[in-house]
C-alpha cells in the first residue's frame, strides 16, 4: 500500500489548481523556447549532396519536389539488428497515410 495522503475534495481541488498553475507556466515556457528555436538563424548548405533514391541519384534540392520544406526521418539500423525497431518501423509504415496532409 502506498502512503498517499487522503484529503477532502476541496483540498484535492486546491492542490490540483496549484499544480495546474505550474503546468500552464511549463507550457508557456515550452512555447517560448519553441519560438526562440524557430527564430534561430539558418546556415546555408555549402556542399552539393547527391543522394541515391528509387529514381536514381538526385541532388538534395531535388528531393523537395518544389516544396519549401523537406521532412527527414532517420531510421537507425544497427549492425547487430535482425529487423528494424518495431516503433520506428511502425512510424515509417504510417507515413504513406500522412502524405496527403503533408502535401497540403
Burial level of 65, CB count in 10 A (0-12/13-18/19+)?
Answer: exposed
Range of the domain at 59: 50-103
Q: What does DSSP assign to residue 39?
A: T
Number of structural domains found in the chain = 1
In a domain, 78, yes or no: yes
Phi, psi of 65 (to 5 degrees): 50, 40
Angle at 74 between CA 79 and CA 82, to 5 degrees: 30
Could you tell me if residue 97 is inside a domain? Answer: yes
Confidence of residue 57 (pLDDT cuts 50, 70, 90): very high
In a domain, 26, yes or no: no
> Which pTM does this prediction carry?
0.53
Tell me the three cell numbers of residue 84: 528494424
pLDDT digit string, tens, across residues 2-28: 889 999 999 999 999 999 999 999 999
User: Is a pLDDT exceeding 80 seen at residue 46?
Assistant: yes
SS3 65: coil
pLDDT exceeds 90 at position 86: no
Percent of the chain with pLDDT over 70: 99
Amino acid at each position: 500500500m502506498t502512503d498517499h495522503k487522503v484529503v477532502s475534495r476541496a483540498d484535492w481541488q486546491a492542490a490540483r489548481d496549484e499544480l495546474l498553475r505550474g503546468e500552464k507556466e511549463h507550457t508557456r515556457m515550452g512555447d517560448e523556447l519553441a519560438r526562440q528555436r524557430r527564430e534561430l538563424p539558418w546556415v546555408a548548405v555549402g556542399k552539393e549532396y547527391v543522394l541515391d533514391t528509387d529514381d536514381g541519384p538526385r541532388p538534395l534540392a531535388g528531393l523537395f519536389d518544389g516544396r519549401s520544406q523537406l521532412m527527414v526521418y532517420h531510421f537507425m539500423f544497427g549492425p547487430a539488428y535482425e529487423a528494424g525497431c518495431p516503433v520506428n518501423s511502425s512510424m515509417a509504415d504510417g507515413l504513406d497515410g500522412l502524405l496527403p496532409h503533408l502535401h497540403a
